[in-house]
Amino acid sequence: IPTHIYSDAKAASRAVAREIAALIRQKQSEGLPCILGLATGSSPKTVYAELVRMHREEGLSFQNVVSFNLDEYYPMEPDSLQSYWRFMKEQLFDHVDIPAGNYHIPDGTVAYDKVAEFCRHYEDMIEAAGGLDFQLLGIGGNGHIGFNEPGSLSNSRTRLMMLDHSTRAAASMDFGGLPRTPRKAITMGVASILNAKRVVLLAWGERKAPVISSAVEGTVTEHNPASYLQTHPNTLFVIDGAAASGLT
């Protein structure tokens, strides 16, 4: 997997934001929507901050952007402090001119017996939009992309997923302890991600070094879902020096 190593997350994020901005502007010049797959978590925050800056200072418009987020906890109310809905509003959507109907985040409030139908509808909306032009990803310490935990298959689609213990433990600080941390999430599948025309994965810090090295240099395996990206023809890993420290 092609990997670009930067001195720090900020420099790396600037490069990724520039790529996204160039894609948005290119689609604008063609009169087309730009279909973005977006991630939450700590890694993309610096990318969103740079996009907001470009909107404010460089006139970057999001009028033609249509976006689909990877995942949302389940169950989860949108106005809850930990919701990915709130995260996206606070980090990006409330600060740029993306039309309100243009962004989509899996709905953590759908009734349990309607989740499968919701997930099919989410896939259909992505397809109807013409597919993802660009997918931004983080990576879990266990290799998850979106919330495709180890064991996820390469043909998996949007679905309800049981979260790994390690994923819940990492999130438990935000939820005030493990017992209050959701056990499930709705996530786009591995196949949904691999269908994107371009994939950029971000990883910062030493904590990610082992999983980055096995995703880039190990075998393609369901034990590290990020390793599936080896089979994608247009993926780039953008990482800092610490996350690169396990690469040979």
Q: Could you say whether residue 231 binds ligand F6R (CB under 6 A)? A: no
Residues 50, 72, 123, 149: which is the catalytic one?
149
Q: Give 64 or 88: the residue with its C-beta nearer to ligand F6R.
A: 88
Contact 145, 1 (CB under 8 A): no
Q: Could you say whether residue 60 binds ligand F6R (CB under 6 A)? A: no
75-114 residues in contact with ligand F6R (CB under 6 A) are none
Clarify whether 19 is annotated catalytic: no
Cα–Cα distances in angstroms (integers) from residue 43 to residues 118, 127, 146, 236, 238, in the given order = 27, 27, 13, 15, 11
Strands lying side by side in the sheet with 34-38:
3-6, 235-240, 199-203, 134-137, 34-38, 65-69, 103-104
d(CA 141, CA 166): 8
Q: Could you say whether residue 71 binds ligand F6R (CB under 6 A)? A: yes
Q: Give 114 or 207: the residue with its C-beta nearer to ligand F6R.
A: 207
Q: Could you say whether residue 225 binds ligand F6R (CB under 6 A)? A: no
d(CA 129, CA 33): 8
Q: Give 23 or 212: the residue with its C-beta nearer to ligand F6R.
A: 212
Q: Could you say whether residue 229 binds ligand F6R (CB under 6 A)? A: no
Contact 4, 236 (CB under 8 A): yes
Least gap, CB of 42 to ligand F6R (angstroms): 4
The helix/strand/coil state of 240 is: strand
Q: Looking at 144, 195, 216, 229, which residue binds ligand F6R (CB under 6 A)?
A: 144
Phi, psi (5° rounding) for residue 72? -155, 145
Least gap, CB of 86 to ligand F6R (angstroms): 13
Q: Could you say whether residue 209 binds ligand F6R (CB under 6 A)? A: no
d(CA 34, CA 18): 15
Could you list the residues that contact ligand F6R (CB under 6 A)?
A: 39-43, 70-71, 138-140, 144-147
Q: Which positions are annotated as active-site residues?
A: 149
